[in-house]
Amino acid sequence: MRTPEEHAVGAAIIHLMRGVVYRESNEDAWATLERQGAAVRDHFSAIGVELVVDDTEGYAYLRSETEDPGIPPLPRLVMRRSLTYNVSLLLVLLRKRLVEFETTSSEGKLVLERDQIIEMLRLFFPDSTNEARVIDTADSTIRKAEELGFLRALRTQATSGQPDAAGRAGRPGQWEVRRIIKAYVDAQVLSDFAAKLEEYAHAASGKGDDD
């Protein structure tokens, strides 16, 4: 029979395998990582996975360890994510907004309105006279970012369960940008991608070099 501490370690391991563990929303698992972090790290290290804990931002997640050229690699547990252009674009735009937010605010969470995110994306979408298609594409991109754990829906009484202009109910009106995005879109990625944003916007507008 497992001891209470062994049970807690097992629960923390399961939570990590399901996704990012946040200090604010999973206090029990976070407390276990603080007490028994070594045991959790050893468990994952044996299967080629690294536990990353960011005490400052308050999140923990798993990533595959760097492969040793002299050792045959283990089967990959943490799958690499292949992101579409739209999702990659949104993550970079959200990361930029988070940088701006943290520069001007020392505390709190970055919360964006759905319409704000749509307008951020619209600048880099191909020109279209089909407004409904633009909005559907943006909403689909937002939902994918939510599935990946980079956005968290904040359903308010004013928006939850209320149909929008297209008759669709239950669409969140606000989104919290989760700080785990900082681990996936680092300063170098942000810099490299930002340098291309103008090029993408130019291409999206349908203006080529020959125009």
Class of domain 85-204: mainly alpha
Cα–Cα distance, 7 to 1 (Å, whole number): 9
CA 101, 195, 64: angle at the middle one, nearest 5?
75
Cα–Cα distance, 68 to 184 (Å, whole number): 22
Q: Which helix (H) or strand (E) holds 131?
A: helix 131-147
Q: What is the DSSP letter of 196?
A: H
To the nearest 5 percent, what fractions of the chain are helix, strand and coil?
50, 10, 40
What is the reported pTM? 0.70
Identify the bridge partners of residue 60 per DSSP, sorted by sequence position.
Answer: 21, 53
CATH topology of domain 4-64: Arc Repressor Mutant, subunit A (1.10.10)
Dihedral, CA of residue 196, residue 198, residue 201 and residue 203, to nearest 10: -70
Beta carbons within 10 angstroms of residue 152's beta carbon: 17
| Residues whose CB is less than 8 angstroms from the CB of residue 203 and which lie 6 or more positions away in sequence, other chains included | none
Cα–Cα distance, 171 to 136 (Å, whole number): 12
User: By CB neighbour count within 10 A (0-12 exposed, 13-18 middle, 19+ buried), where does 85 fall?
Assistant: exposed
Q: What is the pLDDT along the chain (211 residues), one digit of tens a residue?
A: 779 899 999 999 999 988 899 999 899 999 999 999 999 999 998 888 889 999 998 999 988 777 666 666 555 555 556 678 888 889 989 998 998 998 887 678 899 999 999 999 988 887 777 888 889 999 999 999 998 889 999 875 444 444 443 334 445 789 999 989 988 877 666 666 666 666 655 655 554 444 3
Identify the bridge partners of residue 21 per DSSP, sorted by sequence position.
Answer: 60
Cα–Cα distance, 98 to 88 (Å, whole number): 15
4-64 and 85-204 in the same fold: yes
Q: How far is CA 163 from the centre of its chain?
A: 27
* CB contact at 8 A, 157 and 93: no
Sorted by where each begins, the domain ranges of the chain are 4-64, 85-204
Cα–Cα distance, 130 to 140 (Å, whole number): 16
